[in-house]
């Protein structure tokens, strides 16, 4: 309705967090800020409220533990979920810890989606996890494949838009370009721009300036 804010909650790991705890606005300095600023300058009258709930190191099990407080209780209009890279990374850098393999990842992710549908009126965007190393054939990127497929499968099952961020990154890498990340996972400004661009392309197909 006119006068009400359209509330978007972005939840995920460090790629989403990206400095939000050091930012007086709480938005951070990554892709979430780019999206927020684009929405503001293209339609300042819409009064969109963007909330960043990214926390570094999070896996799907960490999102589940804070889902009520950081998503459901906020009563968002749109929830954008960006998770999965740490579920793979921990298999590589901390193999002795309890891991979240694809079957569990899917089960938990499905439950989170169901909770949003049952307890809020929000719509959902699912974002594909991006990459692990800027080599499409890296072990991390091979391990990531079933997690990306899970996101796509859940999108089809629940008729939810999937932001093709993984595909977007692979497309750039296959052209021989790089410098999307600082360490194979965390974004440079180019990486953040690619995420924001891909998200906005999905968003603009679903929403218009008068909605």
Burial of residue 192, with CB atoms counted within 10 A of its CB: 0-12 exposed, 13-18 middle, 19 or more buried:
buried
Q: Tokens in use for 40? A: 């503001």
Rounded to whole angstroms, the Cα distance separating 120 from 125 reads 14
Q: Is 14 a catalytic residue?
A: yes
> How many CB atoms are located within 10 Å of the residue 204 CB?
13
Catalytic residue among 22, 87, 183, 209: 183
Catalytic residue (choose from 23, 138, 171, 186):
186
Q: Is 209 a residue of the active site?
A: no
**Catalytic choice (13, 14, 77, 166):** 14
Q: How many angstroms separate the Cα of 188 from the Cα of each of 115, 157, 169, 178?
A: 33, 33, 13, 10
- 96-99: long-range pairs with CB below 8 Å, 24+: none
CA distance 194 to 189: 9
| Residue 211 CB contacts under 8 Å (≥ 6 apart), including other chains | 6
- Distance, CA of 115 to CA of 160 (rounded, Å): 14
Decide if 186 is catalytic.
Answer: yes
Name the residues annotated as catalytic. 14, 183, 186
């Amino acid at each position: 309705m006119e006068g009400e804010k359209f509330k978007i909650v972005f939840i995920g790991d460090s790629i989403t967090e990206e400095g939000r705890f050091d930012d007086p606005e709480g938005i951070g300095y990554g892709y979430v800020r780019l999206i927020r600023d684009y929405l503001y300058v293209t339609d300042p009258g819409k009064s969109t409220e963007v909330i960043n709930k990214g926390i570094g190191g999070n896996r799907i099990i960490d999102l589940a533990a804070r889902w009520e407080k950081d998503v459901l209780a906020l009563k968002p209009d749109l929830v954008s979920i960006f998770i999965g890279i740490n579920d793979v990374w921990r298999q590589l850098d901390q193999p002795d810890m309890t891991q979240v393999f694809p079957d569990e990842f899917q089960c938990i992710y499905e439950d989170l989606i169901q909770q949003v549908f049952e307890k809020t009126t929000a719509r959902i965007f699912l974002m594909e996890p991006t990459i692990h190393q800027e080599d499409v054939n890296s072990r991390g990127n091979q391990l990531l494949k079933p997690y990306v497929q899970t996101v796509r499968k859940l999108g089809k099952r629940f008729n939810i838009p999937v932001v093709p961020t993984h595909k977007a990154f692979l497309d750039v890498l296959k052209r021989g370009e790089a410098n999307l990340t600082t360490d194979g996972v965390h974004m440079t400004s180019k990486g953040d721009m690619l995420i924001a661009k891909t998200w906005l392309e999905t968003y603009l197909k679903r929403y218009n300036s008068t909605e």
